[in-house]
Structure formats: C-alpha cells, structure tokens
Structure 1
C-alpha cells in the first residue's frame, strides 16, 4: 500500500470518529444519577474531544499534531521539537568555559589595541616646544633632592624639639592649660603650612617672570631690528647699502648705526 493510500485511509477513519463523537454529543444528556454512576473519561481525552468538536463546529479541520501527538515533546505553536529545558540549567552563566573564553578574547583585543597606539609614531600636532630654562630646572631638581631630604629632617627635628618642650611645660603647669597648649601647636602647624605655600607661590611667580623676561627681550630685539631696517631703507638708497656694511667692523660706532648697517647688509 502506498503512502497516499495510507493517508487517505487515516483521513477516512478520522472522519468516521468525528462523526461518531458528534452524534454522541447530539444525543440527549443523561440524568444526574446516570451521570454520577457513569465513569468520567480521562481529562486528556476530554480535552481532545472538545477541541475536535470545536474545530468541526467552526468549519476547520483538526490538526494531525493535536490529534495524534500528546504534546509532551512537540510544541504545536512552533511546530518543532520542544527543548529539553525552559530555563538555563546553569545558575551562574558567567561560570562557563565559553564565557571565560569570550572575556579572554576581549582582553587580548584591548591589549593589542593599546600596544598599537603605543607603537605609533610621534604626533607632530601634539608636540610643544620646551621652555628656555628646562635644562636648568632639570639640573636644579637633581641638586635639590639632597636638600629636600635635609629640609625634611630639619623639620622633623624641630617638631620633636617643640613636642618635648611642650611636654616639659605641661608637666610643670596644671591640667587647666592643656587646651590652650594644643591650640598653640595647631596654629603653629597651620602657620608653617601657610609659609610653605607662600614659598611655592613665590617660586612659581619667579619662574613665570623669568619666562616673561626672556620673551620680552626677544620682542625688543625683533622690534629694534625692524625699526633699524625701516630707517635704513628710508635714509639711504640701495646703492649705498654695500658701503655701510664696513661700519660693523668699527667698534666705536653707536648701536643705532650698527643696526642700520646690519639691516642694509641683509637687504
């Protein structure tokens, strides 16, 4: 028998069963005593029969899956096999080899990107010229290290001496003067901190003034050279420029004349 004939035979059997169930439903309902005496059908069979009758009344053919399959391993909504579990079997999803491998791959990628950034060449747009006194500061820092150690030792020595002196005074005086002594110590410490901050501010101001002085000197030199150049152009013509070059060899010439000669020589 071919598969087509098998399917047609199964369809005919199903139609016969549906007709029988429909005829049973249309018969007169039994009395209450008979209903109590009659055994109730299983719940699963009752649900299937109700679903079949409902589909027949609506004019739709019942699905083969709902008729023959119990639904234990088959999901009629997705028309596929049910999964073995509805929730994850692992309580902590981060404690798996897959998750650890993924995190390790992300860390390796981030490390490679950081190394690539470090291996890149210098960015010319981010370069800044150093200050004129950067080498002096570098040498001064090396020399100041030993002085800083000596300064810290001296401060510690002064603090110890002051604490010992306060202890001696506290032993001589009654207990009423403890609050005042502690207040004096705190005020002295605050005053020392203020003095240190003022010294640092003076050092920073001195550095800024030195830098400003160097910049102003450069500006003055450039301005003087420009003025001398304009005067040389306005006073003498191009033919006399070569003659004025010899003025630079004379040390008794004034600075203004020297600037004029240099300007003419550059022209």
Structure 2
C-alpha cells in the first residue's frame, strides 16, 4: 500500500477522489472513474474518517461530470489546444476527457504531484507541474502560441484569497493571452458557513472566498467576460440520480438562494 500523508487544504484532495470511486460502484453512476477506484484501493488511508455525506458526494460527481462535458466540447473545436488544470489533486480528468491532441498540464503542490507520479506517467502530451498555483515560476512551463486555451479550477478558488485569484488570472493572461476559464464557486453565505461541513472540519481546511454576482469578476482584470452559470441542481446529468436524490435536487432548484450556493461559472478572458 502507498502511504499518503497530507495536511489541511491538501488533504481535501482525498474527498473528491474517494467520492468518485464510491460513485463508480453504483448501478447508475453519475460519473465512472476507474482510475479513482484504482488509486483508493492502493492508498493506505481511512477514507471513512472523511465522513462525506451522500448529497455532497453526488454534488462533487455532478460537478466533475459537468466540467468534463464542457472541456470535451471545448477541445473538440480545435486540435491545437492546451488545457491547464489548476489544483488537480489526484483527479483523472485527462483520462476521462480522452483527447489525444490536447497539450495537458496538471498543476498542484509539489508534494501532491509527487504522490500523483505514483499513479500517473508523463508523456509528450501530458505534463505534471509541482507548484502552488499562487507562485509565478510554474507559468513558464505552459507553452504560448496555442490556438485556444482552457483553464480549469475545480474545488480550488474557495481556498484562495480574492487577491490571489485576481493575480493568478492576470498572470495567466500575461503568459498565454486569451483563455476560457471554468471553475466552481460558493456563494458568499455558503463560503462563510461551509467550515462546519464534516469533511472540511476533518481536514482542517479554511474556506476563504465566495461570490454572489458572477459579473463581479469583470471588474477584476481587464478583458474578463462572463459567459454562463450552470447549476448542479438542474442539468441533464441529474437524470442518473436516484429518485429521492433527484427530487431533492429538484426542490432545491426552486430556490435561487439554494441553487446558487455552489455552481459552475464560465468566463472568457480576452487578451485586450
């Protein structure tokens, strides 16, 4: 067994990993992630200690599936593309997307990437970068001159300060020019309350950022354009949920305050 030792925010990468592995064993899973099943079986860790509620698990898998769908569609537009996956953890999105043309970069803390290298192998198309996303040096490893770029930040921005996110988005624009950005975000209220979630309390992670108005980001960096907001409570993937869970999500979707608690936000950052 591979011994994993992680602390605070870094330990949170085990939450979606275990969630995807657990979801993959269902008869009608929202998401199938065979790599997650493999990794969980090889890691020496008491995953039950994470105390992940079923609704949270379903939400995480819906989040991953919706991002996968968007990334697949985006990359299908042009074979000269690069994807930058910020805070990748042990996620297998590159495998799930399955695009052999994309130049893919998974970025996370060095200790996370060191663990990742046990389970993933770099190729001429798939790259691992060990660095905090708030540092500047790692950006030099991202090539310039691609026809299109997509930047993915799943389960990341809520752990950063607002100024850190602003600086990161600006640095990305300076390096690669225009890019499409997709990430999930809490509302301000949810960000203030989610610290009491059992999984967050277990890891000791600190939630630092939430946003109510998606248009707010347009004021941060010149050239940011809000494209769309997608809700976990209402999308085509909810059809795979159990009847009870589907009903719960349907009720939640009736209340804007609830459905906006956590959702996907998509932007185009223009090099202007």
**Would you say same fold, with TM above 0.5?**
no
Q: Which is strand-richer, 1 or 2?
A: 2
Structure with more helix by fraction: 1
**TM class, shorter-length:** under 0.3
TM norm structure 2: 0.18
